[in-house]
Amino acid sequence: MDHFLYRDGALYAEDVPVAEIAAAVGTPFYVYSTATLKRHFSLFDEALGWADHLVCFAMKSLSNQAVIKLLGDAGAGMDVVSGGEYMRAKAAGVPGDRIVFSGVGKTADEMRLAIEGGIRQFNVESEPEMIMLDRVAQSLGAVVPITVRVNPDVDAKTHAKIATGKSENKFGIPISRAREVYAMAGTMPGLKVIGIDVHIGSQLTELAPFEAAYRKVAELTEQLRADGHEIKRLDLGGGLGIPYARSNEAPPLPTDYGALIQRTVGHLGCEIEIEPGRLISGNAGLMVSKVIYVKSGEDRDFLILDGAMNDLIRPAMYDAWHDIIPVKEPAPGAAPAKYDIVGPVCESGDTFAKGREMPAVQADDLVAFRSAGAYGAVMASEYNSRPLIPEVLVDKDQFAVIRARPTYEEMIARDTLPMWLE
């Protein structure tokens, strides 16, 4: 469910016509809906209503300050994976005790930053990292709360690039070695074990892999408690998928997911933490682009847009599908056309869709990529020296630019010449 609907023949973002935003900021751009972001957060929050819990938004999916601020104000915690994300969360006013630090390669500097600024817990992913964290904590005279991320060796049944819970993946420690690693953590004066962490992948469209992983976590909780550890918090990761095509069967809802968590680990009396990203931000955003040309090829027509792979890399990177719809509502019964939809970047990989059926459009028409809120703007680059595209936030009938498009001069001024070339 989102707030991008046709009304009076035109696509709206909440109560603002998308074409009006395009006229004000130019294309391409991202636009996010406040109502959708808040609604998705509260669906998770309510689904865990049976437990003491915290929903930590996975900032890597969408990390604009305005989005962090509005979710933080709504009560969300933040799951961060870098010093930069930690600083963004703090800058948006999220208190340290609502920030969780994940990621396989935390540096000593990043650990120091988070310990000094305040942190809810570190999710530790390896023994060397645990040793480093203990050393940094002791050097600051701190005792930091940790969970250990365990790798349950379950197949998340998702795209290989975003599966993280199989034994061949770089993430976490094998669950079979967990007791050993917790025993080691228990001897470290700078660390305080408080729980267990697991995250098996992204864009999961079935509950079965979660169920398999969470049952293993429940079993481990009981073993670790028997070993004398205090396990009072379970961080169950993110990963619940979204429907990228309207025609798809809808993946499980947060309520089903919350019930699954209750069924698998509810009896343990732990505080529950989850880290959803995509399900909160994905369908809360569109990327809006303009048709530059419709080019007739030998056996196909190309729709050449002003948006490209550097603005939205998911199709090139993950073969991802995005529904692409005209901003002007097509007349009922209008004959569909078939296009290869591409951007202007000089690579064949700059293809958003091949042989895509959609209503016919013409040069200068606007099109919207649905479900572009997650892993969209955050993965953009300036490849081909195309300036980063702006982000816009809508709230009912108002909209504001929340990251401006840099001018060419600003883009060029970020480089500096060495003195011998001046």
Ligand X SMILES: *Cc1c(COP(=O)(O)O)cnc(C)c1O
Enumerate the active-site residues: 346
Before 28, cis peptide (omega within 30)?
Answer: yes
Residue (264 or 281) nearer to ligand X, CB: 281
* Least distance CB 259 / ligand X (angstroms): 18
CA dihedral 225, 226, 227, 229 (to 10 degrees): 20
- DSSP 8-state class, residue 328: B
- What distances in angstroms separate CA 362 from CA 91, 200, 254, 290, 370, one per listed residue? 43, 43, 39, 10, 19
Residue with tokens 């060029």: 412
* Least distance CB 17 / ligand X (angstroms): 30
* Least distance CB 267 / ligand X (angstroms): 24
Cβ within 8 Å of residue 145, ≥6 positions away: 119, 120, 121, 122, 192, 194
Cβ-closest position to ligand X: 277
Rounded to an integer, what distance in angstroms lies between the CA atom of residue 411 and that of residue 132? 38
Residue (199 or 233) nearer to ligand X, CB: 199
Residue (88 or 290) nearer to ligand X, CB: 88
Nearest-5° Cα angle at 228, 222 to 231: 55
Residue (82 or 203) nearer to ligand X, CB: 203
Residue (70 or 80) nearer to ligand X, CB: 80
- State the CB neighbour count (10 A cutoff) for residue 52: 12
Return the HEC string of 195-263.
EEECCCECCECCCHHHHHHHHHHHHHHHHHHHCCCCCCEEECCCCECCCCCCCCCCCCCHHHHHHHHHH
Residue (147 or 203) nearer to ligand X, CB: 203
Binding positions for ligand X, rule: CB under 6 A: 58, 60-61, 79, 102, 199, 202-203, 237-239, 275-279, 374
The DSSP annotation for 126-173 comes to: SHHHHHHHHHHHHHTT--EEEEEEEE------S-GGGB--STTSSSSE
* Least distance CB 150 / ligand X (angstroms): 12
* Least distance CB 422 / ligand X (angstroms): 43
Residue (44 or 352) nearer to ligand X, CB: 44
* Least distance CB 130 / ligand X (angstroms): 17
Helix (H, G, I), strand (E, B) or coil at 373: coil
> Residue 419, exposed/middle/buried by CB under 10 A (0-12, 13-18, 19+)?
exposed
Helix (H, G, I), strand (E, B) or coil at 393: strand
Instruction: Report strand pairing: 10-13 vs 351-359.
Output: unpaired
* Least distance CB 85 / ligand X (angstroms): 11
Residue with tokens 């005279």: 141
